Amino acid sequence: MTAGPKPHRLAYIDSLRGVAALLVVLMHSIQPIATGPVKTLIYDIIDPGKVGVVMFFAISGFVIPFSFPKGPAPLARFVVSRLFRLYPAYWLSMAAWIAVAAIIGGAMPSAINVLANATMAQTLFGQANLVGLYWTLFIELLFYSLCAVAFALGLLHIGRFTFGACLVWLLVAVLFAIARFALERKVPVAVPLCLSIMFWGTLWREATINRSALHRRYALRVLALFAVAIPPISLLAYDFDTGLEEYWVRYAVSYCAAIGLFMLLSTRVRLTGRVAVWFGQISYSLYLFHVHTKLLVDEAVARAGLALPAALQVILSIAAAVCVSCIVFTLVERPAIRMGKAVGGMIAARRSEQAGAPGAAQ
């Protein structure tokens, strides 16, 4: 078992988040206008958005298991911190999406769909994502839940457990891929595959930060399995199109590229400049709001009757997304994070008082 050092802010991991978010934004910005070699590249070879998303999952594995606070009531404080970290900006994103739909004349969601999405677990209720990119957040929630259970059982930082979790979820991904191929239905292969990558991120953290030789061996073994398993998983799961313009080569290359880029930027090339770190800080808001701003920019340009060059319109939408994300981070995310810490502190203080009260040990 590896105890690990006291959690601290890793600037280059913030930068990694920024890189991942910008890749997603870039893909969603250029995808509708891509032509020629660029279209061939992003549709047939590598999906920058998928690379960014998979990087986000690896980053979560690198960070979340080490974010349980020390002291009284660590599990309750972890849950509170995650709630305040994720939901306020997410709910604002939902409200903004409904407003954008009203402005551009889009279809309005049902009340049931909105309520299900408000939980961030709409997949469990069989409801569609209000915004397509919300699908990743359910996987994040699932990983947080698994980490919380493992923490409660005292397993979270045991190398054999994390290695086993990687293997189990990778096996589930293989089975799901076979089922998807046989049934030609949307079996959620990405869920177990991404969970495996998240637990691998935990092994990678132990290997690179805590210098654990055991975790390094485990991490390298899982990497070898990824290299062997991801191509056939992609071939079985994405050799037919379910309406999302899927192509198995693009999936296989994107997953492998994401893991490789994550390894590079977490070891050899660590970005710690102010701008890179700042993009990492606003990355969650950037992820949540960039589709909204793109639609609004496109609508504004169309209503104004402007014929802007495609590249300029892309730049405008990205710039608008960055500005909106900065505002949301400043006015919503950061205050919510502080509030979560304050509530967690109150929980810890109350638990300490209860533990120190007369008769508490009886």
Res 40: pLDDT: 87
Contact 62, 266 (CB under 8 A): yes
Instruction: Please provide the DSSP assignment of 101-153 as one string.
Output: HHHHTPPPPPHHHHHHHHTT-GGGGT---SSGGGHHHHHHHHHHHHHHHHHHT
**pLDDT at residue 246, as a whole number:** 74
pLDDT band at 43 (very low <50, low <70, confident <90, very high): confident
- pLDDT over threshold 50, residue 1: no
What is the C-alpha to C-alpha distance for residues 291 and 81, in angstroms, rounded to an integer?
Answer: 26
- Kindly report the average pLDDT of the chain as a whole number: 91
pLDDT of residue 48: 94
The SS3 call for residue 252 is: helix
Give pLDDT tens digits for 12-21.
999 999 999 9
List pLDDT tens digits, range 170-213. Answer: 999 999 999 999 988 888 999 999 999 999 999 999 999 999 99
- pLDDT grade for 357, boundaries at 50, 70 and 90: low
**What was the pLDDT predicted at 327?**
97
Q: Which residue has the higher pLDDT, 348 or 60?
A: 60
* Mean pLDDT along residues 39-46: 88
pLDDT tens digits, one per residue of 232-268 = 999 999 887 666 667 889 999 999 999 999 999 999 9
- What pLDDT is attached to residue 4? 40
**pLDDT of 128 higher than 60:** yes
- Whether the per-residue pLDDT at 28 is higher than 60: the answer is yes
Which has the closest alpha carbon to 288: 63, 59, 96, 140? Answer: 96
Residue 242 is predicted with a pLDDT of 64
Confidence band for 231, pLDDT divided at 50, 70 and 90: very high
pLDDT at residue 8 is higher than 60: no
CB atoms near residue 122 (< 10 Å) = 22
| pLDDT for the residue 358 | 52
Residue 57 has pLDDT above 70, yes or no: yes
The pLDDT of residue 184? 85
